[in-house]
Structure 1
Amino acid sequence: MNILENYYKKVIRYDLINKFSYSRLEDIPKLKKIILNFGCKSDDIKIIAASFFSLELITAKRGSLSTAKRANILLKIRKGYPVGCVVVLQKTEMYTFFLKLLSEVLPNLKDFKGLVPSKNLGKTSFSFTLKDLINFKVLEKQFYLFTNLPPLNITFITNSKTKKELLYLLNSFKLPIL
């Protein structure tokens, strides 16, 4: 069992029960999955291959390519062309990545004060973007391969009912949200 998973089961669940009132145990908010996404604005195969490989190195899980649903003349992309890659992390892999994000990546970012929740913050999801990906130790070793990566979108999916529950859950995990 991962440290964060154990921390959730032993501490955070009881804090949530004391803070909010729940009639059933299934109503207690929990982290369901983390989605990592690279969206490339071009069909350049070098950028897509580098982002696909870096996503695989970061998460230690095979990703999937996302294709264009319709053509875009301005970006010179045809329907069906690969335009990004996605990895969905659940259970142990999710907590392992989350621990790596909290302990290695976020503390090493330059001029980082915290994550700002967007105005269109959902009840069940929280998203943010990382632009400087060299802070991942795995990518740092071969930085010459990953110099022109697009920004990485990270989305946390929970089963919370309100925005207050969502922010309280993520703050309980010590995610630096302003």
Structure 2
Amino acid sequence: MSPLAEPKVAPRFKERYVNEIRPALVERFGYETPMRAPRIRKITLNMGVGDAKQDTAMLEAATEQLAVIAGQRPNVRRARKSIANFKLREQMPVGVAVTLRDARMYEFFDRLLSIAIPRIRDFRGLNPRSFDGRGNYSMGIREQIIFPEIDYDSIDQVRGLDVTIATTANSDEEAFALLEAFGMPFRRDGRPGAEDTEAAAAADEERRKEARARAEAEQAALEQLKAENPEAYERREKPEEGEEGEGGEAAADSAPEEGS
């Protein structure tokens, strides 16, 4: 297996960002210039190889597989310090990683969304809570075989990898809008920026419930008073005999006589 060649034409995701996504973000968030709109800065792929300390062939296999997936040769990640409990020594290989930028980044992101993610078994959407608070998103992939570049019959074992998408966004809400515009299939629950809206809606609903409860309590108290003293309420609702006539006479007495 060999890494993919450098894309010779501008990736379609880059053109889509410039022509469609960036103008939409400028209009939505009110940026002063299009250059302030968030963009994807880099994508990092990391594949752990815990068994590499016993078998160097596993490290070589992981390196080749990640190179095919990313289209770029990965670097070997080594332990920074020794940990006796894990039988880990300093500088021991623990995984491979690669950082993608520019054309290769957009090309990989296109394949990830268009081909790889739809092949995940029992897929229910990406977790929208996996932002780090600084506009970066991380996701885990359990099986490298969701990428069509990996030949299932030729791999030594199924491995997972982590994908981190770093953006220039100032907030998770802006980063979410950027990635969603590319077509990342997020779940509907827990989306960044939705907490305030949901909290306000919940507060309004609580106030409406309290108002309805007060109105029902007042109506129930009124009905109880009517049941306990119905005669008093009948007198209040119906004027006593003579009240209208007395009022009419009083009005007539107070009216000025004609010609006076």
Q: Does 1:91 align with 2:102?
A: yes
* Superposed displacement of residue 11, structure 1: 0.5
* Superposed displacement of residue 142, structure 1: 4.6
The RMSD of aligned alpha carbons is 1.5
Instruction: Supply the AA of the counterpart residue of 1:68.
Output: A
Q: Is the 8 A contact 2:22 2:34 kept in 1?
A: no
CA distance in 2, matches of 1:146, 1:170: 33
1:48 maps to what in 2?
Answer: 59
Deviation readout 1:117-175 (Å, 9 max, x if unpaired): 33663322100000022121111x253424242x2000000000011100000000001
2:115 maps to what in 1?
Answer: 104
More strand by share: 1
Instruction: Supply the AA of the counterpart residue of 1:169.
Output: L
Instruction: Supply the AA of the counterpart residue of 2:179.
Output: L
Q: Is the 8 A contact 1:134 1:143 kept in 2?
A: no
* Superposed displacement of residue 48, structure 1: 1.9
* Superposed displacement of residue 76, structure 1: 1.1
Percentage of matched positions with identical amino acids: 28
SS in 2 for 1:128: strand
Instruction: Supply the AA of the counterpart residue of 1:81.
Output: M
Return the index of the structure with the highest Cα Rg.
Answer: 2
Q: Is the 8 A contact 2:136 2:164 kept in 1?
A: yes
Query: Superposed, which structure 2 residues align to 1:148-163 within 5 Å?
Result: 148-149=158-159, 151-163=160-172
Q: Does 1:33 align with 2:42?
A: yes
Number of residue pairs the alignment of both structures matches: 176
CA distance in 1, matches of 2:156, 2:164: 22
Deviation readout 1:71-95 (Å, 9 max, x if unpaired): 1222211001111111100010001
SS in 1 for 2:84: coil
SS in 1 for 2:110: helix
More helix by share: 2
SS in 2 for 1:161: coil
Q: Is the 8 A contact 1:114 1:176 kept in 2?
A: yes
Q: Does 1:114 align with 2:125?
A: yes
**2, 11, 15: which one aligns with 1:2:** 11
Instruction: Supply the AA of the counterpart residue of 2:33.
Output: R
2:157 maps to what in 1?
Answer: 147
**59, 64, 80: which one aligns with 1:69:** 80
